[in-house]
Each structure stands twice: as structure tokens, then as C-alpha cells.
Structure 1
Amino acid sequence: MFSSVNISRKKGPLYLQIRDTMRDRILHGVYPKQMNIPSETELENEFAVSKITIRKAIEELVQEGYLEKKSGKGTKVIRNTLASKLSTGKRFTEFLVEEGYKIHKKVLKTELEHNLQEQEIAKQLGDSCLYIERLYQLDGAPYIHFSHYLSNQLKKLELSEVYDHSLYQLITERGMYLTKFQDQFAVAPAPEYVEKHLGVEKGTSLLKRMRYSFDDQGNLIEYSVGYYNTEEHHYIVNYDG
């Protein structure tokens, strides 16, 4: 069951909005690899658009290498990871999807943040930044709580964009290319409101990840704090020789 998708001609060509939504579903295992996506008729009904619009969206994803069309056999997902010119690494969620899990993202809150407590980070992000709070579910169970603080260059993102698309994809589409990531890890109890979202007992020690994402000029574009309920699944780091 999908959450409602908010597409509008005011936000640009409909087929591109549908492409982005479908790509996000592929990346998070809603449309599993080696399985067919819904039929064109089903997609027409879901998005309330014409067959031509659906076909154009699918063709975009075929050209990007996510889908393969075969006459009489439907359209199959052949890739479920982002192609990046900047990194050969994989995101943790990509590994989970490859293992057969489904990741569902829920946006809990978006607002302009003016009083970021970490003063050094506040200096780098600007006098105000965009705050996004998200919950990731692993096969329906609360798994990761994220708090994202984004550069004030991104504070004009529309709410619907945040709901419907990959966050890092949106950053890239704004002409900001993330080339360096620094992760710091700790084990600590989460704030009470995070514990409630994750459904864990008060004072439970959780894996805490703090990420700093920089562009090719060395500017901090995103700072995030994630709390992982590793009772659901361990955090995995793979190293290639």
C-alpha cells in the first residue's frame, strides 16, 4: 500500500515527477530487483495520468538503467542502486534492499531551524537551515530515526518534494554534488521523542551515527543524526579490497 503521491503541473512535467517517485520505490525495495513493476494501466490509475505520461516516465528509468522492457513480459527492475560518478560505495539501505528487505520512509517534520545547538555546525550551514525529521521502517517495523540539518541554500525545498523523493537526489538536482562524507559513531540513549518513534524502552542504548556531508568545494551541505534500533538489524559496513 503506497502513501498518496502529490504530483502537480505546477511542479514541472508530470512524467518526471512520476519517474522520481518510481525511482525512489526501486531504491527502497518497494519494486524489488528482478521483479516486474505494476502494469501501465495500474500506474495510470494510481497517478491519474495518461498512458503516454506513464510510458515517458518508464522510458526515463529504462535509459537510466533501472528498468528493462521486454515485449509480452512486462517491465522488470534490473538495478536498485544509485549510479554515482563520485563514489563506488553503497549506502547502507542499498545493502538492506539487496538482502530482500523493504524500506519505507516517513517524514515526521520539516521546518526552518534557527537555533541549532551545535554552534560550529550552525556557522557552516548558515544563519538558518532546513530541518527534516524522518523515520525509516524495515519491513514495517520502526528502525532508524534521522534528523537532517541542510544548508540554507536548500531551505526553499517544497514539502511535497521531501515526501516524494530521495533526499540526496534532491540535493544533486539543486546542483550540489556531495563528494565527501564523514561518519562518527557512538552508543547512547536517544532523546525521549526518538525513543517513542522507534518504540524502544526509555534509556535503551542505541547506535548513534552523526554524518557530515560536504560538496566539492568543502562546504558542509548536510549534517544528520541517526539512531538505529540494531535489535531489528545490525549496521553493516563492507570494505572492498
Structure 2
Amino acid sequence: MSTNKINPKKGEALYLQIKDVLINRIQNGAWKPNTLIPTEQELIKEFNVSRTTIRQAISILVQNGLLEKKQGRGTIVKSQRLVGNLGKLRGFAEEVVERGQTPHSKLLRAEFKEDLYHEMDMLGVKEGEAILLVERIRFADEIPIALERTCWPKEVGELLIECDLNQARYYEVLEQYNYYLKSANERITAINATINEADSLGIRPGEALLEMTRLSFGVNDHPIEYTKTKYRSDKYHYNIELER
């Protein structure tokens, strides 16, 4: 529902209409994660409905993991996990936007390197030819979600280095220059956060991380991106769709 209005004459039950309004407020950021929503009495007054109707709407959002009741405090907006889909080639920013959150990055370093031999081999780059290394912390709203380490061939890196890498969405930038990703190979492993990684992500050392390694290919089947991203496991998980 795109507005904050409900229609008593509409065929849909009032509690379902209110549920949609509340979801919209969460998704568009009007209600921030880890903050209290208005009280039942305030919502009753706003929507001019019964307490039972408000409780039905809130109950659905609690069951769906969008809200959480806190004893002695009230009802808060839960911080949502990002969901990656193993069947789709998408960037972090696209996943965040899809969840109704705002992506941004903190650039740690960006430089051309000639001694990253494993990464050069993965990208099919000859010895002695520099590749661009970019390291960033990735955020959803203001919450640090992942540490990202990305390597690019020189011709692509020269385009990216001219961008504001605190804001740039790699795949969108590449498409502006007619670089299109066709496919990718990914590997996911479980690791534990080092002291430095934990400090960057705001977690305790030793906490579980999901490490995703991705090698992406362009339409000519040549490697174009080699990325290693370490996600907080409490804020990110993957969905896998299986068919038989």
C-alpha cells in the first residue's frame, strides 16, 4: 500500500490494510530499526479502529520478523538480515535497496597493485600488469554489514578509480561504459572474524562471518571481477532455490 490511508469500504479487512501501511513505514525508513513504534493507543487514534484490529496487524508483523515485542518497553522495529539469492548475479547495493534500506560504503583503500599474484591469475592478467584493488566497508542504512575486497583488470580499474568509491555501485558504473556481467562463480565458506575485522564491523573477535568469493565474467567470457566479501552472519544470509 503506497499511502497511509485505509478504506473501511474496501473489501480487504482493516487489519490487513493497516498491516500494509505499517510495512510501508518500515520499508521507506519512516520507522528505523531498533526504535519503538507508536503505542497501541496512538495507532488506535490514528486509524480510528479497535484495539483488536491494531493487535491483529501488529501480530502479523511480529510473526513475519519485522517487529519485536520487548517486555517493559513496547514494540520495536527489528533490524533485518539481508538476503542473497544464489541464483541471481547482483551487487550488495542492489540487495540492500531491495530490502528498502539505503546502501553506502566507507573506502579503506584503492590502489593499483602488481604483486597480487593469486588475484592476477584469477583475472587472467599477465605478470607485471597492474590490477586495481579496492577495499570497502559496506553498510545498510548505518549498520556495517560486510568487508569487501575487490580486484579489477587495469582497463576496468581505470574507470572505477575516477569514481567516488564511497558511493559507487560497481555494476551500474560498468554498464555506463558498456561492460556487462554475464555470469559468475561463487564459493561460500564460514570463517571467524579477526580482531581488525571485528573492529570494522562492530562485532566481537571470533564471531562467525560468511565469506563469499566471486569471480565474474563479462559477455566475452573473460574475467572482469574478483571479489572476496566477508558478511556478518547475524545480518546476512543466503536463500537457495531448488527444483526437482
TM-score (norm 1): 0.55
The 1:100/1:163 distance shift into structure 2, 3 A limit, reads: closer
Unpaired runs of 5+ in structure 2?
1-26, 31-86
Q: Which moved more, 1:95-104 or 1:199-208?
A: 95-104
Measured in 1, the distance between the counterparts of 2:205 and 2:29 equals 41
Determine what percentage of the aligned residue pairs are the same residue. 20
Residues 96, 165 of structure 1: alpha-carbon distance in 2 compared, 3 angstrom cutoff: closer
Q: Which residue of 2 aligns with 1:189?
A: 192
Q: Aligned pair in 2 of structure 1 residues 103, 208: CA closer, same or farther (>3 Å)?
A: same
2:166 to 163, 167, 183: 163
CA distance in 1, matches of 2:137, 2:201: 8
Deviations 1:75-115 (A, max 9, x none): xxxxxxxxxxxx97655653443333332222221111221
Q: 1:116 touches 1:122 (CA, 8 Å); kept in 2?
A: no
Q: Does 1:204 align with 2:207?
A: yes
Higher CA-based Rg: 2
Query: How much does 1:138 deviate?
Result: 2.4
Partner of 2:105: 105
Q: Which moved more, 1:149-158 or 1:89-98?
A: 89-98
**Distance in 1 between the 2:203 and 2:147 partners?**
12
Partner of 2:236: 234
Equivalent residue, structure 1, for 2:141: 139
What's the counterpart of residue 8 of structure 2?
none
Distance 1:171 1:131 in 2: 16
CA deviations 1:201-237 (Å, max 9, x no partner) are 2233310000111111111111000000121x23232
Please, what is the CA RMSD of the aligned residues? Answer: 3.0
Of 149, 152, 155, the match for 2:151: 149
Matching of residues 59-78 of structure 1 within 5 Å: none
> Which consecutive unaligned segments of at least 5 residues does structure 1 have?
1-31, 36-86
User: For 2:158, what is the secondary structure of its paired residue?
Assistant: coil
- Does 2:213 correspond to 1:218? no
Out of 177, 184, 189, the residue aligned to residue 174 of structure 1 is 177
TM-score (norm 2): 0.55
How many residues matched? 158
How many Å separate the matches in 2 of 1:92 and 1:237?
15
Change (3 A) 1:123 1:96: closer
Answer yes or no: is the 8 Å Cα contact 1:92–1:237 preserved in 2.
no
Q: Secondary structure at the match of 2:94?
A: helix
Structure 1 residues 216-225 or 131-140, which shifts more? 131-140
Letter of the aligned partner of 2:105 in structure 1?
Answer: K
Task: Tell me the secondary structure at the aligned position of residue 143 of structure 1.
Answer: strand
* Amino acid aligned to 1:130: L
- Secondary structure of the residue aligned to 1:214 is strand
Change in 2 beyond 3 A, CA 1:112/1:92 = closer
- Given the superposition, is the C-alpha separation of residues 198 and 159 from structure 1 closer, same or farther in structure 2, using an over 3 Å criterion? farther
Runs of 4+ off more than 6 Å: 32-35
CA distance in 1, matches of 2:94, 2:137: 16
Name the SS of the counterpart of 1:163 in structure 2: coil
Distance 1:201 1:33 in 2: 30
